[in-house]
Amino acid sequence: MSALTDLTLRAALQGLRQGAFSSCDLTEACLERIERLDGTLHAFLTLTPELARQQAQAADQQYAAWRQDPSRGLPPLLGVPLAVKDVFCVSGVRTTCGSHILENFVPPYSATPVERLLEAGMVMLGKTNTDEFAMGSSTENSAYGATRNPWQPERVPGGSSGGSAACVAARMAPAALGSDTGGSVRQPASFCGICGIKPTYGRVSRYGLVAYGSSLDCPGAFARSVEDVALLFERMAGFDRRDATCVDVPLPEIHLPSEGESSPLRGVRVGVPQEYFIQGIQPAVEQAVRQAIAEMERLGASVEAVALPHTAYALPVYYLIAPAEASANLARYDGVRFGPRQPADTLWEMFRRTRGVGFGAEVKRRIMLGTYALSAGYYDAYYGQAQKVRTLIKQDFECAFEKVDVIAAPVAPSTAFRFGEHSEDPLAMYLEDVFTLPANLAGVPGLAFPVGFDAQGLPIGIQLMAAHYREDILFRVGHAYQLATEWHLQPPPLYV
């Protein structure tokens, strides 16, 4: 039965429709693998086995009815297991955001992306670990303990969606939901050797996604192939009137190249920004990314240099805007409605004690940074100026996409680092996001997928970025590359 966990989302769907196995079989295989491996990896914070079994049984009943009467039709992702990052609300299921301040919070409603995937027939296995309130690049900041990388457990899986990435890489689930505020889908996908999509800002509803940085947060998805993340994206995306930032723009037709197709990328223009190949990048990362770009050229794409001149400002701009928005968003966690209230003689002292106990060090650091940037006398000098530079970064991308269809770049300067390596140096940790932040600031979509390994056997990822609402071109290029290569087929050696 363990072989069922090796199936991709697409292969699992095909097997279910052909009757090769049942959703109950597939779900039990995933639950057994979680029980066997998660004591080491700690990818999950909350498991929902009874809910999963109920949903799997319902899926099998639908398949049985469909076989008797094919005119009934089937939900598009019926019976396939899913893991959900613990920053998405799920009705009746504990949602902690990796924080003690929400340790007993059970929401009465579900986030739109979760709702849509469950309506498409997916089976929910549980909630995955995350840096507290999605603030981090390693999943070391979770109040409930760190998640480990399936490739080498002494290394981080990336963050903040490290739990989701680790569980997909370790074959605990064929798919998982994540969120990307500054690279939190793409960087864990790269570190864990899987695929991840950050859609255009506003393309997928944020309703029910617990807010960190409201102008940056973006629901995303993980799977083991580009084709699979495209399937998830199609079900998640679309207008939602419950989210004021969700756009009413038609979804593009996604046409993936066929196996054996000659020059599948003919006519596609790939841009390479020199600003992303900086001093200090791990040589193996640069080599693997450049080789991947050369493979895209072999598949018919044209390659040319593009300029993104304000890239160097993305890091300071992000760490002004995101903490400022976090400062406002996290003000609601005061011990009155959420969190374990601390006893005190005055209201203000209760606020101070509750937040002091409930929030971890990194969340406190970002709240203080953001509050300072928004304070009287500093707003214009810091936050206001950062918003102006953000516009310049967005304009850089707009100019580049007048010349090319996609931009190809590294996801991170290095492969997965060891636990504690950046713990004493917050700036070093923030620099892990230096290549992913610009896409969030500009609101453009990004797709990450594996393109090689370093000398230690750790995965290396590439990211492709496209113009707003052009996720279709990302999937086309990524799928064509995966038809021609096998990097995405390699499992972590410790967990085969």
Residues with a catalytic annotation lie at: 85, 160, 184
State the Cα–Cα distance between residues 483 and 93, nearest whole angstrom.
Answer: 38
Alpha helices, H only, 378-493:
385-400, 426-430, 437-442, 471-484
Strands (E), 289-420: 302-306, 406-410
Region of 129 on the Ramachandran plot (φ > 0 left; ψ -120 to 50 alpha; else beta): beta
117, 232 Cβ separation under 8 angstroms? yes
The C-alpha angle 430, 434, 436, rounded to 5 degrees, equals 110
User: Cα separation of 362 and 355, whole Å?
Assistant: 13
**Where in 76-218 does DSSP place strands (E)?**
81-85, 123-128, 175-179, 195-198
Phi/psi for 253 (5° steps) reads -70, 125
Q: What CA–CA distance (Å, rounded) separates 159 from 191?
A: 9
Report the distance separating Cα 40 and Cα 149, nearest Å.
Answer: 10
Other CB atoms within a 10 A radius of the CB of residue 374 amount to: 18
Are 85 and 184 a contacting pair, CB within 8 Å?
Answer: no
Rounded CA separation 382/283 (Å): 35
Dist. CA 465–CA 35, nearest whole Å:
37
